[in-house]
Every structure is written in structure tokens, then in C-alpha cells.
């Protein structure tokens, strides 16, 4: 795994339980934007819980690197507790 991807993974792992706003490119001038909570990080993907959709979505770290997905960290005071591994 490249150093950039590893750095992204480590940063997200340190923010498990934090609220984020994500923006995802959906093709020709279309984007999807939602708020969620970082739930888990895995070797190649990370997951967010999106309350508005009552579902979990997953993204690859490379999606962040290529700007297909953008994350904005929201107030860290609103941390959601997460289960320990």
C-alpha cells in the first residue's frame, strides 16, 4: 500500500466515531452529499453510517486520493461511541 493511502487510512482510523460530511461524484455533474459517522476502517475500505439513509456505505481509500469522494470532518464534540474490536 502506498504511503499516501496508508496515511489516509491512519487518519481515518484516528477519527472513528467522528461525524463527517461526504460528497461523492456520481457522474456527469451529479454529486451526492450526506452526513455520516466513521464506523470502521479495514485494509482497503472504510465504512460510514448514514442516519438519513439508515444504512452503511463503504468507500475505498483511493476514492479519497482521486477525489471521487471528499470528506469534511464536523465537530469532534459530537463523537458517536463505537464498539471495540
Domain ranges of the chain: 3-76
Is the pTM for the entire model greater than 0.85? no
* pLDDT, mean of residues 27-48: 93
pLDDT at position 11 is 92
Beta strands in 1-85 (DSSP E): 19-25, 31-41, 45-50, 55-60, 69-73
* Cα 1 to Cα 66: distance, rounded to the nearest angstrom: 15
- Percent of the chain scored above 70 by pLDDT? 87
Mean pLDDT of the chain: 86
CB atoms within 10 A of CB 1: 12
Options 3.30.1490.20, 3.40.1390.10, 3.40.50.10320, 2.30.30.100; CATH for 3-76 is 2.30.30.100
pLDDT at position 84 is 39
Which of the residue ranges 21-35, 40-54, 66-80 has the most confident prediction, judged by mean pLDDT?
40-54
Amino acid at each position: 500500500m502506498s504511503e499516501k493511502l496508508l496515511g489516509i487510512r491512519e487518519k481515518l482510523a484516528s477519527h472513528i466515531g467522528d461525524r463527517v460530511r461526504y460528497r461523492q461524484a456520481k457522474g456527469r455533474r451529479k454529486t451526492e452529499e450526506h452526513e455520516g459517522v466513521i464506523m470502521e476502517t479495514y485494509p482497503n475500505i472504510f465504512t460510514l453510517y448514514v442516519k438519513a439513509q439508515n444504512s452503511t456505505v463503504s468507500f475505498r481509500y483511493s476514492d479519497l486520493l482521486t477525489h471521487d469522494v471528499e470528506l469534511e470532518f464536523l465537530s469532534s464534540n459530537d463523537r458517536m461511541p463505537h464498539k471495540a474490536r
